[in-house]
Amino acid sequence: MVGGGGEADLWAAVVKQAFADACAPADPTARLTNGCSSREAAEAWEFLTAQTGEAAQHRKWIAGINGVNDEVLTAEAIRRGPSRQLRAYRCWIAARAGIKGRDREIVAAYEKGRTLEWIAEAHSVHRSRVAQIVAQAGVKRRSPGRVRKAVSA
């Protein structure tokens, strides 16, 4: 991100913190937790990956201030994948919703950026069942085109 001083630097720090809260560290030897709550990690992930809504609008605005394409931020978040803390939080949500065993593996694969088709084939279930399991776990759906780009990158 380009530094323009003042406000741009502040918003660049917000994006950097969102990556720290929501994504797996780029350096595998980095600290595993950064002191944020699971809910904060989930909100940061929403900010980085939302396709529509308020979080997506804020990300686009902040990226614009810093001269960065917001799709690059989303692709990088999906490439890194959710943090261990966020994955644990999603498993807890799934457990509360009564999602067990294979379904947890399906949710985890989806959160790592795998396509519905890939997951369906790997787990021998129909694509629509994968979508249903993901929705029951409370995970937001992604647009198919963006997922393929992020996974292949």
Structure tokens given for 69 = 């394409």
Q: Show the domain range for 87.
A: 6-152
Tell me what pLDDT residue 152 has: 44
Tell me what pLDDT residue 147 has: 44
Tell me what pLDDT residue 149 has: 43
Tell me what pLDDT residue 143 has: 66
pTM beyond 0.85: the answer is no
Tell me what pLDDT residue 150 has: 43
The mean pLDDT values, 10 residues at a time, for the chain of 153 residues are 66 84 67 67 84 86 87 85 77 69 84 86 87 84 55 43
Question: How many domains are contained in the chain?
Answer: 1
Is 1 part of a structural domain of the chain?
A: no
Helix, strand, coil percentages (3-state) for the chain, rounded to 5, are 65, 0, 30
The CA angle 53-86-107, to the nearest 5 degrees, is 80
C-alpha pair distances (Å), 5 with each of 67, 75, 110, 123, 126? 13, 26, 38, 50, 51
